[in-house]
Chains A and B, each alone.
Chain A
Amino acid sequence: MHQAPTRHHDVHLWADRCVGLLACAILYGYLTVPDFRPQPMTHLRTENLTKTFPGGVIANNRVDFAVETGEIHALVGENGAGKSTLMNMLYGLVKPDSGHIFYNEAPVTISTPQKAISMGIGMVHQHFQLVPSLTVAENVALGYEKKRGGLFVDRQNTAAVVRQLSQEYGLQVDPSERLGGLSVGEQQRVEILKVLYREAQLLILDEPSAVLTPQEVEDLFEVLRRLAASGRTVIFITHKLNEVMALCQRATVLRGGEVVGTVDVADTNTEQLAEMMVGRSIERVTTTADAKPQTEAKLILREVSATDDQQLPALVDINLTLYSGEIVGVAGVEGNGQSELIQVIAGLRQPTSGDVVMGLQRLNDLSRRERRLQGLSLIPEDRNEQGLSKDMAIWENVVVTRYNTDEFTGQGGVMHIGKVKQFAQGLIELFSVRTPNSNVQVRNLSGGNAQKVVIARETAQQPNVFIAAQPTRGLDVGAAQFVHEKLLEIREKGAGVLLISADLDELLALADRIVVMYEGRIVGRLARGEATREKLGLLMTGSSPS
């Protein structure tokens, strides 16, 4: 009688202990073994996210978008489809008008980039935000330096962390090197390191491949795969559909500020994605009729040499003749003299020797304006800086090469602003630039529409020589096709077109012949039939095709 309750008590005690131990074990496992822990499947989700910009442009309309933890998710869409707006809302740069954002299934308000960073969201911008005079490690840690004694920057510790991160994810770059000396690809690695250093779990990359060489793109993909394998989530914004196919698990397509759909990459192909993007079937490559044989030389470069800003040779004995009615492609890895070539022709750089002749006129002594008035048209490489003034209205942008002609300026230098606006309105309609009127600042246009403004200006009068530098860079499929059609049209009307492009497909599709530049020289000249990707690739890297 005395023992029974005790034994009974013991049994209870042991049972309790066992339950307790089991609970501990489960809890331990729960906390330590990652796979045991139920993962929040959705890393980030938006619901009905809407943003309207002043002027009534609806950039995002009720966007539902979700990324799973550990995936590489492509965000594709035309220029002006609302990709950047969406990402800027996720990064706290733009405030949504309405809708909700969930991070690990918890509702959040991301009011500033600092908030986004502290939550674990990192963004690699298309235009790098780096300080050239600082070292790699200093750039990576900028604003988030490891401190010693709460006051002093612990350089060694910082550099060690950067080095460790760069080894872990294969981001090869020397932490002690100054940023100014790095290539574009290396700078991008620094940007990624910066995001990782801030312990980002969700990485947003805005068109990261646009500035890279093919080999660098491969390296970048490898890094991104490693990041995803480590449990991080990557949002990859791009125009290039083959990159989506090669890298991503899923893709969300935006069009006109709305989500068209999210697809598994395994179940789709580039044609389907392209159709979702533009809303219609499109031809993959613009086809061109062969050029009519012409003999009239529009532009002649004779033994032209020039130096770059550091006074180093950038162009060496360039000989090139551009005939009317043909498109001559200039291929080459960027930085092999293409920029200097454009500048010499446009009059922004004086050649150290040699002649540039347009028609019968020696250009060397003509001012930039005189060259323009003689029929030289130009789409500059960097259209946002060199080709447009974003704070000015459309009408002010389209008239910049001819505002002082009799057509637009009367006696005493008084501009006929009414006439200019009429002229601008005509171009807007002709090129179907999406804008309410010509008073809109170019800043408020999408990339494709902005490029239309440049082309409208440059083709408003039939050019003699048309230089198109990277004319479709950053443009979506539809806008790029429009540009290609225009270039062919300009050729048909008898201009000589010089097409400088990093896009080999574009060159192969459009150019009647291709010259290849390497280290400031023309190292190869290929006719339309004989140019192939392989041959061009070899020439561009300085080896001669056997």
Chain B
Amino acid sequence: MRQELIEQLGNIAKIILTLAAALLLGAVIMWATGQDALNAYQVLWDSAVGNQRNIANTLLAATPIIMTGMATLIAFRAGIFNIGVEGSLYVGAFAAAYVGFTFVTAPGWILIPACLLAGGLVGGLWGFIPGVLKARLRVDEVVTTLLLNYVAILLTSYLVTGPFLVPGMANAMSAEIAEQAQLPRLIERSQLNAGFFIALASVVWVGFTIRRLTLGYEIRTVGSNPVFARWSGIPVGRVIMQVMFISGFIGGIAGAVQVMGVNYRFIGGFSRGLGFDGITVALLGRNTPIGTMLAALFFGGLRNGGSTMEMFTQVPRDLVDILQAVIILFVAIDLTLTWTRLRRRSSGPGSDAKAQVEAQPAEATS
């Protein structure tokens, strides 16, 4: 028990160090370009959590990232590197918008679930395709999911510039969804909406699934040793397809929530990497639902604060991208070390496997 506690504290320390290092590097860059870093961070902080409205906007920015984080995390847990959540998000968003602007006469209590479900199902199917390819034909999911992202982005852009173009609109966007399909706003002067609760629900659901459901047990087993899972009778292919569907489903809901809560219509290219942010937060949150959610809230703060910071200081909001990149770098380094250490353990000599437990990370680099 004490060991576990120490390990947990170590993980938290790692995350804090990572964030601190990123902020420090950002400060160095600002100083080097003659900016007042402390002031910039002050503004960033204030505009992220300074008052109720800023907090609301931070939660708003975090909402889709929480969900794409959950979508990524559950696939990671099964050992599947799904980087196609972005694609699911786009097709899910479009499907939700389509239902929302087509069935305008339906009452809200039908239309809202219908939009969400449409977004989830279409996003899920989008994830299911690479899932089937991997499970049945052993096609590498990294390639297929990455490429399907472009298909999804371009396909939806085509749909709103072609068949579903609204006459009189200059930009690639669909018609507005019915008013009763729009998610209620939570406070005044902010776009924060009920979608945030859907995001929280996804955290609870993913956490419960992984820890308590047989499906979660299967996911963890397949993720930790697929050979063992196969020999023991776990239908590995089915689990892979299920997980990819679920991952895409959550990603699709994330897209639907953006349409129903923020934009009220599908806008071509609206996401700009929300799906990829999900990968970052899942990694930063060390593949745990709570950790990932906290990381997503942090990123939401950065995104929200970054735009205000740009207005009030000379620092462009690209700084936020730099911070994010540095964080990814640190997380990647940590992952590489962990991976090397794991590999070393499992391929280590001797029948006393425990002897390998304490190989030092520093050695692994040499």
Contacts and interface: CB of A to CB of B under 8 A. Distances in A.
Interface of A: 53-55, 57, 59, 79-85, 87-88, 92-95, 111-114, 123, 125-127, 129, 206-207, 237, 346-348, 367-373, 378, 380, 384-392, 396, 399-401, 403-404, 409, 412-415, 417, 443-447, 450, 474
A126 B357 contact: no
Nearest to B225: A389
B207 interface: no
B355 A386 contact: no
Nearest to A442: B353
Nearest to A91: B349
20 contacts: A93-B363, A94-B355, A94-B356, A125-B348, A125-B349, A206-B349, A367-B233, A368-B233, A369-B233, A370-B233, A372-B232, A378-B231, A386-B228, A391-B342, A396-B221, A400-B232, A404-B214, A409-B214, A443-B354, A445-B354
Please name the 3 residue pairs, one residue from A and one from B, whose CB atoms are nearest each other, closest first. A84-B350, A369-B233, A125-B349
A80 B228 contact: no
A385 B231 CA distance: 9
Interface string B193-230: 00000000000000000001111010011001101111
Nearest to A97: B358
B30 to A, nearest CB: 39
Nearest to A127: B347
Given A114-B366, A348-B230, A390 B351 contact: no
B3 interface: yes
Contacts of B359: 93-94
Given A88-B349, A389-B224, A348 B357 contact: no
Contact of A126 (B212, B224, B350): B350
A93 B356 contact: yes
B221 A389 contact: yes
B350 A413 contact: no
Contacts of B346: 384, 390
Contacts of A450: 353
Contact of A85 (B217, B347, B355): B355
Contacts of B352: 59, 79-85, 446-447
Interface of B: 3, 212-215, 217, 220-221, 224-225, 227-235, 342, 345-360, 363, 366
Given A95-B360, A112-B363, A348 B231 contact: yes
Given A390-B346, A415-B212, A401 B227 contact: no
A125 B347 CA distance: 9
Given A55-B3, A413-B213, A385 B225 contact: yes
A55 B2 CA distance: 9
A368 B346 CA distance: 26
Contacts of B358: 53-54, 94-95
A386 B221 CA distance: 12
Given A400-B228, A400-B229, 20 more contacts: A55-B3, A59-B352, A79-B351, A80-B354, A84-B350, A87-B349, A92-B363, A113-B363, A125-B348, A125-B349, A346-B231, A367-B235, A385-B227, A389-B221, A389-B229, A391-B224, A400-B221, A403-B217, A413-B213, A415-B214
A59 B350 CA distance: 13
The SS class assigned to the B binding surface is helix
A521 B350 CA distance: 33
B356 A396 contact: no
Contacts of A369: 233-235
Nearest to A113: B363
B23 to A, nearest CB: 32
A447 B217 contact: no
Given A404-B214, A414-B212, A392 B224 contact: yes
Contact of A59 (B215, B224, B234, B354): B354
Contacts, number: 160
B364 to A, nearest CB: 10
A207 B351 contact: yes
B330 to A, nearest CB: 23
Contacts of B215: 413
Contact of A88 (B212, B235, B356): B356
Contacts of B229: 389, 400
B3 A380 contact: no
Nearest to B347: A127
Contacts of B214: 403-404, 409, 413-415
Contacts of B360: 95
A158 B225 CA distance: 39
Contacts of A80: 352, 354
Contacts of B351: 79, 84, 126, 207, 446-447, 474
Contacts of B350: 83-84, 87-88, 125-126, 206-207, 237
Contacts of B357: 53-54, 443-444
A130 to B, nearest CB: 11
Contacts of A127: 347-349
A50 to B, nearest CB: 13
B366 A400 contact: no
A227 B361 CA distance: 34
B48 to A, nearest CB: 37
A386 B227 contact: yes
A387 B231 contact: yes
A402 B213 CA distance: 14
Q: Which of B354, B357, B358 has the most CB of A within 10 A?
A: B354
B204 to A, nearest CB: 14
Contacts of A92: 363
A126 B354 CA distance: 15
A93 B345 contact: no
A396 B355 CA distance: 22
A373 B235 CA distance: 14
Contacts of A53: 354, 357-358
Given A112-B366, A389-B225, A443 B353 contact: yes
A401 B225 contact: no
A387 B360 CA distance: 28
Nearest to B346: A390
Chain A CB count within 10 A is highest, among B213, B346, B355, B356, for B355
A377 to B, nearest CB: 11
A392 B220 CA distance: 9
A403 B214 CA distance: 7
